[in-house]
Structure 1
């Protein structure tokens, strides 16, 4: 037992060879499983009667409605569901709601210009490429592409046809460009407004860091996106979006129709355990305030930028009550930034093992929560954020572990 504890503390168990082997094995298994799942499908419906790319069907259907001049209908569940069924020749398919701000119709409009299969393939391939490029740019090592490609959250995201790759690419790209091209970083942050729940802590970080140019361009980008959507789609679509928020909050989030095990927030964990909505919100708000304080302190401090970036990524995932397991793709941004800092300054006790746990947790989070009620991803996110802040507080005093093996990961 002492040997195991020491191995976890030092991280010596995670050698470069093992990291590559684990990545290759998981990547190979998931590629084969994905191809088999596609091969066993029937006219774009899988063996469970769900569309290939499941959630992508709501994007594609919303795009078709936009082509028909009926974008606002996407916010009406009955009409959106009818549009989704029409995509598959009128066959019965599960309902996947459209909850995005109107400027995300641009993506839906673009993919709906193709057949469903080609639209899905283009969406996944292009966003995945952006995700890989950003992470490889942040941590320019040959191993980065393999480890980030095999990151289990990528397969969850691909299976759902979701936008985790885009979210991670926008956040990671903005952080990478913040000092180099602050105005371009602002544009990327502005585009990230398509997932407004992930933007709670970003303004706090930018204000604490006095990043005025980025704040200005981010604000201008959001204003431009809103104006463009009003110009192209009209004002009714924004009224429909506002009216749909009650449904999204009440049915999707508070009642847990999505599935508590899929949502990785402290709000969802408490609701899964039987807490009232008010109690769950109170704890979520308390956590959000603590996260905001940690981000404000960190971003106005002289801590390494890698720690600021990693903390913002983990904090953004923790601060929202509505974060699903495919959103954990954003966790890759925190992992690569924290790894980059460790490679330069050394790793503290348990940091390497915690990074390994963070990499693996999207593979297990939904299943473990569904069977045991333990929110594994939430616990790992809390631990990783705490370790990042602790590292900033103590500086290089924690940098006691510098094994050569992990230096290649």
Structure 2
């Protein structure tokens, strides 16, 4: 493979020989940034997205979710175990974002390897640096999907995740890089998936099944080795107490999610929906598992379409996870922004996905995108199974 034909590399990302050869320049100079080439359908969706973004900026205070990450990072320098003391972490956030309810640090100690260095900066500086780097990597990683760049960056779930200071954007960028490299540099893909999983494990719940379905055994091996190395590094730096404190804090966090109405209302999972309806929540998880596990396996075994793989991997994980909030819909943004928007009906699914943030039924938006991916997977599988006319002639002869 020639150098100029590679999908991406860190060297090409940071060092471009002429802007015409720079993938980042090509991304931001595409037709999506030329209003003269926008179709009325794209303009309509863009107007909807910007309108919803304005609502988000009017009702959400920036960096509210970055506060527990920054505070947890600071505490890890002195006593990592205290990062999982919900009362202490919540109290230390008051000078940063004002009076809040319980806002625990819930990420594993492996994530502190990222947040601890950032916490050495001031709160605003750390938030700004983390946001800029996350968006830059996200935009670059999404390029193989060929999305409409402007739609991608102003999509309400993406804006919400950035505004809140969630690491979702960074984690999704790592997943996108991994998907792009899976059929070329399988080992590196496993490394990237493991890095993402050690920051936000729920989004990678289905990764082992998906990789096994596609026969990506080298990726599985390198992912396991990388996860072990990162876990070992966090154990050496923060100690066993930090991991024990995290495991001890998980039951309390589960109670907080299931009993605190604002969190429950903004959750995106079937588990949370069943809790709200007073139904057995684990029944929802079991039903979801019966669907998303075989779909994840088949999507990596039967197609190389990265949009389908992303939705069935990350979207399926959200359907399976007990806890995930509405900003996690940003994980599906590259697939949504890459849709062909040519007819009015093409607006239905992206509109449902975006509007569902505001009507306390974000699960509907997730299901809409996931159903699209499943339909695409089945149709491609069917097309591949039906012999063409040329195949029929060859068989007859």
TM bucket normalised to smaller: 0.7 to 0.9
Using the TM superposition, give the Cα deviation of residue 311 of structure 1 relative to its aligned residue in structure 2, in angstroms. Answer: 2.7
1:21 aligns with 2:30: no
1:60 aligns with 2:70: yes
TM-score by length of 1: 0.76
The answer to whether the 8 A contact 1:261-1:366 is kept is: no
The answer to whether the 8 A contact 2:267-2:324 is kept is: yes
Matches within 5 A, 1:72-151: 72-85=81-94, 87=96, 92-139=99-146, 144-151=148-155
The answer to whether the 8 A contact 1:61-1:112 is kept is: yes
Partner of 2:364: 376
| Residue 263 to residue 134, structure 1, CA distance change in 2 (3 Å) | same
Measure, in 2, the Cα distance between the counterparts of 1:333 and 1:387. 18
Partner of 1:313: 314
| Residue 367 to residue 293, structure 1, CA distance change in 2 (3 Å) | same
The answer to whether the 8 A contact 2:63-2:127 is kept is: yes
Aligned length: 349
Deviates more, 1:383-392 or 1:126-135: 383-392
The answer to whether the 8 A contact 2:61-2:164 is kept is: no
The answer to whether the 8 A contact 2:203-2:317 is kept is: yes
Using the TM superposition, give the Cα deviation of residue 334 of structure 1 relative to its aligned residue in structure 2, in angstroms. Answer: 3.2
Unaligned runs of at least 5 residues, structure 2: 1-36, 387-397
| Residue 396 to residue 335, structure 1, CA distance change in 2 (3 Å) | farther
Matches within 5 A, 1:187-206: 187-193=191-197, 194-206=199-211
Measure, in 1, the Cα distance between the counterparts of 2:273 and 2:55. 30
Instruction: Render the CA deviation track for 1:340-381: whole Å, top value 9, x for unaligned.
Output: xx79xxx9xx9x846x34433353224322xxx684324414
1:172 aligns with 2:179: no
The answer to whether the 8 A contact 2:141-2:173 is kept is: yes
Partner of 2:276: 272
SS at match of 1:156: helix
Instruction: Render the CA deviation track for 1:288-316: whole Å, top value 9, x for unaligned.
Output: 12211122233233665653444323322
| Residue 55 to residue 303, structure 1, CA distance change in 2 (3 Å) | closer
The root-mean-square deviation of aligned C-alpha atoms, in Å, is: 3.0
| Residue 366 to residue 329, structure 1, CA distance change in 2 (3 Å) | closer
Deviates more, 1:381-390 or 1:75-84: 381-390
SS at match of 1:315: helix
SS at match of 1:263: coil
Measure, in 2, the Cα distance between the counterparts of 1:298 and 1:30. 32
| Residue 116 to residue 303, structure 1, CA distance change in 2 (3 Å) | closer
Using the TM superposition, give the Cα deviation of residue 127 of structure 1 relative to its aligned residue in structure 2, in angstroms. Answer: 0.5
Unaligned runs of at least 5 residues, structure 1: 1-14, 38-47, 399-409
SS at match of 1:260: helix
Relative contact order higher in (CA < 8 Å, ≥ 6 apart)? 1
Using the TM superposition, give the Cα deviation of residue 240 of structure 1 relative to its aligned residue in structure 2, in angstroms. Answer: 0.4
Using the TM superposition, give the Cα deviation of residue 177 of structure 1 relative to its aligned residue in structure 2, in angstroms. Answer: 0.8
Deviates more, 1:24-33 or 1:114-123: 24-33
Partner of 1:12: none
SS at match of 2:180: helix
Partner of 1:263: 267
Partner of 1:330: 331
The answer to whether the 8 A contact 2:312-2:370 is kept is: no
Using the TM superposition, give the Cα deviation of residue 185 of structure 1 relative to its aligned residue in structure 2, in angstroms. Answer: 0.8
| Residue 297 to residue 75, structure 1, CA distance change in 2 (3 Å) | same
Measure, in 2, the Cα distance between the counterparts of 1:315 and 1:57. 28
